[in-house]
Amino acid sequence: MNGRQRTLCLSGSNDNKHRCLPGIFGFVYMNKSNNVEIEILNLNKSFRDNHILKNLNLKIPSGKTTVIMGGSGAGKTVLLKHIMGLLKPDSGKILIKGEDITAKTERELDKLRSSFAMVFQFAALLNSLTVGQNVGLGLKERGELTQKEINKIVDEKLRLVGLDGKQHVMPGELSGGMKKRVGVARALAMNPEVILYDEPTAGLDPFMAGNVDELILDLKNRLKMTSIVVTHDMNSAFYVGDRICMLHEGRVIEEGTPEEIQNSTNHITRQFITRHSVQNTARVSDSGSGGK
């Protein structure tokens, strides 16, 4: 079902000779915890009279990748922002390790946010800073480490996403796929327990998108982090997801394993899969440019 080329290009280029180098990740990576389960109970959110999240219920298991798929405007990003404590719901609970974060103060939320990292839809890099400075920015702002210590972490995280040696490059010199990976490295620099990806393959050609999917999968396998991937890219959803849930008009209408979702009889899910698979096929046939 998945025609996309699945080649992990660890060098950060499309040069196949660098692919799948054994031991490239052969350094010790300490993750704080692999045990963050998230439970969302009866979540409601409106913006004025626009009811976006409607009694939404969802369980996100720890150490696995949960894909949230749904059409544009379905409320996916709004949901991610709630999980990160960036938006307050009108009602409902978000339990993280059993604690309801909707009841927390801003100060308590700050602590929580430090264990979450979001990879934004558009890499959102600062163009006036080097790749290394972008990756280390959060650590620098935290003010706990020396520049030397920060540089070491930056080097490690760039190696982890296959961009070793790109520390001094400016973002403007990178392809779209490489920028996304810098965004991932920046998220990892904060040593998060949970990583959230918002449309990580959007705007990438199939080759670059495949690389990003490989990276997401590889990081999950190595770091055993709880990962949440928001996407409407069906190739991506079926490839990286351990669980997939379908968000439609502010509700989770279906959830299951990739196989269960692929064989879904729910007509909204079926329609969504068909429509977005067609789009992917079209994308494959007219691609050829580098990732933008």
Ligand X SMILES: Nc1ncnc2c1ncn2[C@@H]1O[C@H](COP(=O)(O)OP(=O)(O)O)[C@@H](O)[C@H]1O
Angle at 247 between CA 245 and CA 248, to 5 degrees: 145
Determine contact, residues 193/225, Cβ cutoff 8 Å. Answer: yes
> Does 211 help bind Mg ion (rule: CB under 5 A)?
no
How many Å apart are CA 97 and CA 146, to the nearest integer? 31
Q: Does residue 214 contact residue 235 with C-beta atoms inside 8 Å? A: no
Nearer to Mg ion, 155 or 198 (CB): 198
CA dist list (Å): 203 to 30, 123, 220, 281: 32, 11, 23, 14
**Contact in structure between 38 and 31 (CB atoms under 8 Å):** no
Choices 28-36, 58-66, 67-75, 155-163 (CB under 6 A): range interacting with ligand X: 67-75
CB 133 → ligand X: shortest distance, Å? 29
134 binds Mg ion (CB under 5 A): no
Task: Name every residue whose Cβ is closer than 8 Å to that of residue 116 and which is 6 or more positions away in sequence.
Answer: 83, 84, 192, 193, 194, 195, 196
Interacting span for Mg ion (CB under 5 A) from 61-69, 72-80, 164-172, 239-247: 72-80
Binding piece for Mg ion, criterion CB under 5 A, among 15-23, 76-84, 138-146, 182-190: 76-84
Member of 20, 21, 42, 73 binding ligand X (CB under 6 A): 73
**77 touches Mg ion (CB under 5 A):** yes
Residue 201 interacting with Mg ion (CB under 5 A): no
Half-sphere exposure of 30 (CA within 13 A, CB side): 2
Nearer to ligand X, 78 or 209 (CB): 78
Our finding on whether 77 is near ligand X (CB under 6 A) is yes
Asked whether the beta carbons of 84 and 113 are under 8 A apart, the reply is: yes
Residues 6+ apart with CB under 8 A from 289: 205
Is 101 in a helix, a strand, or coil?
helix
- Note whether 217 and 8 are within 8 A (CB): no
Site stretch for ligand X (CB under 6 A), options 18-26, 75-83, 166-174, 175-183: 75-83
Binding partner of residue 3 among ligand X, Mg ion, none, CB under 5 to 8 Å per kind? none
45: partner contacted, choices ligand X, Mg ion, none (Cβ within 5-8 A by kind): none
**Is 85 near ligand X (CB under 6 A)?**
no
Binding flag, residue 72, ligand X (CB under 6 A): yes
**Shortest CB 76 distance to Mg ion, Å:** 5
Q: DSSP secondary-structure letter at 175?
A: -
Binding status of residue 177 toward ligand X by CB under 6 A: no
Q: Is residue 47 part of the contact set for ligand X (CB under 6 A)?
A: yes
In angstroms, what is the minimal distance from the CB of 80 to Mg ion? 8
Of the pair 76, 157, the CB lying nearest ligand X is at: 76
Q: Where are the alpha helices (DSSP H) in the chain?
A: 76-83, 106-113, 131-142, 147-160, 176-189, 206-223, 234-240, 258-262, 267-285
CB of 64 to ligand X, least distance (A): 22
| Interface residue list for ligand X (CB under 6 A) | 47, 52, 70, 72-78
